[in-house]
Amino acid sequence: MTVIQVVFFLVAAFTTAAAFLVVLAKNIVHCAIALVFTFFGVAALYVLLDAEFLAAVQVLLYVGGITILLLFAIMLTSRISARGVRVMNEQVGMSAVVVFAIFALLAIASLKGFALVGSPPPASYATASLGRLLLTTYVLPFEAVSILLLAAMVGAIILARREREKD
Partner 1 sequence: MVPLSHYLILSAVLFAIGMFGALTRRNAIGILMALELMFNAVNLNFVAFSRYLPSTMLQGQIFAIFVITIAAAEAAVGLAIVLGLYRNFKTINVDEINLMKW
Phi/psi of residue 105, nearest 5 degrees:
-60, -50
Q: Find the shortest distance in angstroms from Cβ 50 to partner 1.
A: 6
Q: What angle do CA 5, 64, 4 make, to 5 degrees?
A: 5
Phi/psi of residue 85, nearest 5 degrees:
-90, 140
Among 40, 84, 120, 143, binds partner 1 (CB under 8 A): 120
Q: Which of residues 130-159 bind partner 1 (CB under 8 A)?
A: 130, 133-134, 138, 141, 145, 148-149, 152-153, 155-157, 159
Check residue 49 and report its DSSP letter.
Answer: T
Stretch 97-116: interaction string toward partner 1, x if CB under 8 A:
-xxx-xx--xx--xx--xx-
Among 81, 119, 136, 140, binds partner 1 (CB under 8 A): 119
Among 14, 37, 63, 66, binds partner 1 (CB under 8 A): 66
Q: Encode burial over 50-89: b for 16+ CB neighbours within 10 A, e otherwise.
A: ebeebbeebbeebbeeebeebbeeeeeeeeeeeeeeeeee
Determine, following the binding rule CB under 8 A, whether residue 63 of this chain makes contact with partner 1.
no
Q: Count the site residues for partner 1 by CB under 8 A.
A: 85
Determine, following the binding rule CB under 8 A, whether residue 166 of this chain makes contact with partner 1.
no
Q: Find the shortest distance in angstroms from Cβ 148 to partner 1.
A: 6
Q: Are 21 and 41 in contact (CB under 8 A)?
A: no
Determine, following the binding rule CB under 8 A, whether residue 128 of this chain makes contact with partner 1.
no
Q: Find the shortest distance in angstroms from Cβ 59 to partner 1.
A: 11
Cα dihedral angle (140, 146, 149, 153), rounded to 10 degrees?
A: -140
Q: Find the shortest distance in angstroms from Cβ 16 to partner 1.
A: 6
Q: Are 37 and 57 in contact (CB under 8 A)?
A: no
Among 3, 81, 84, 86, binds partner 1 (CB under 8 A): 86
